[in-house]
Structure 1
Amino acid sequence: MNPPVIGCWNVRGFNSPKKITACKKLISSHRLDLLCLLEVKINHQQSLDNWFCNAHRLFPHEASCNNFDDSTPGRIWLKWNPATVHFQKTKSSKQFIHGFVSSPSIAPIALTAVYAANSVTDRFPLWKDLASIAEGINGPWIIMGDFNCFKDSKDK
């Protein structure tokens, strides 16, 4: 059996039908089981609206979690196909969602999706939280996302 296929994309806003279509194509072309969307710019009220959620559905029988309670507007939205994979969120903040991915073919894997703050100072709590999470990790751990930092200005 194959492990689940996981992807991550900084969509820079998820209110455009073109972005939804692009995400569906990404899922289809790479046969993704879970997609982490970053910088979605969705507010908590929108996420409670059934019409809005249906219009932004990426998988046929989708499950999802987000950090919209921690960040306004929302920054991170994980969506997955519950027929192939499960994600259990254990902790979140303005800058990350952490939990465990499992499927019938693998033991649970720790997963942390990051959309870091733009300022170095504002990222300090993220590094502290990641160090704290790391202390409890005894197996595989995927850390993915946008850390909003670069080595050289030309890299930006």
Structure 2
Amino acid sequence: MMMNIGCWNVRGSNLRPKQEEIKNVIRSNNLSLFAILESQLRFNKLQTTCNNVFGNWMWISNQDVSPKGTRIIIGWDPDELVVMPLDVNSQVMHCQILFIKDNKKIFCSFIYACNYYMDRRILWDSLVKHFYSVNNSPWLILGDFNVTKELIDSSAGNSRISKGMVEFNDCMNHIEVQDINRSGLHYTWNQRPNGLNGVLKKLDRVLGNFKFIEDYPDL
């Protein structure tokens, strides 16, 4: 089974050039589902922008729980997939995805976490709650967690594990997920450099539970 799923923290999708970039990512990677993170779209621009980016795809968003601008938008090809939203808040959209051709289902959670560690506790609680609904089904979690997992995930050479890192790792251990095999650059986020003081971090991750890794070992 081909699993062509992607997401990107676009840091705003109001401008047409960024929308064209998103469309190019979808086309060039032959994706059948794509999540836009940190879209920053207001309600009056959501429909027009999604129609432009996704064309005849179906899409959903967490606009109703993100009054300051849509944080997560998910678009998918209805000829390939059936996507059912199960639970949504401002930091995560939990969905069930049916792959029509293979008649296989997975749970999938798309993340755009808050910057402050205390605000992320809502996200961790949501993931733990969803863990009991997933049970022994394959579960994929991907997106921008806005926190590093290990000290090596920051180029700044930090020597102290923060409270936010501890809570993130506690959540991962509780819901029994781990990083999916990856390729490409380790760092996924850059702070705009100020002289030589720029910082690189790994904030974006793709996680899977044991059942997902067992069922899809080649990913």
The TM-score, its normalising length taken from structure 1, stands at 0.89
The aligned amino acid for 1:62 is W
CA RMSD, aligned part only? 1.6
Q: What SS class does the counterpart of residue 65 from structure 2 fall into?
A: coil
Larger radius of gyration: 2
Shift of 1:26: 1.0
* Larger RCO (CA under 8 A, 6+ residues apart): 1
Could you say which residue in structure 2 is the equivalent of 1:24?
A: 23
Please list the CA deviations of residues 25-77 of structure 1 after superposition, one character each: whole Å capped at 9, or x if unmatched. 11111110000110000122332x5x4443x332x411001001001211000
Is 1:120 paired with 2:113?
no
Give the partner amino acid of 1:7: G
**Which residue is equivalent to 1:39?**
38
State the aligned residue count: 151
Q: Counterpart of 2:78?
A: 82
The residue aligned with 1:65 is: 60
SS of the counterpart of 2:2?
Answer: coil
Contact map agreement 1:3 1:106 (CA 8 A) in 2: no
Please say if residues 95 and 114 of structure 1, whose CA atoms lie closer than 8 Å, have aligned partners that are also in contact.
Answer: yes
Task: Give the structure-2-normalised TM-score.
Answer: 0.65
CA contact (8 A) 2:12 2:39 kept: yes
What is the letter of the counterpart of residue 4 of structure 1? Answer: M
Partners of 2:4 and 2:142 in 1: CA distance: 13
Partners of 1:7 and 1:52 in 2: how far apart? 18
Of Structure 1 and Structure 2, the greater strand share is in: 1
Unaligned stretches of 5+ residues in structure 2? 157-199, 202-219
Instruction: Indicate the percent of aligned positions where both proteins have the same amino acid.
Output: 31
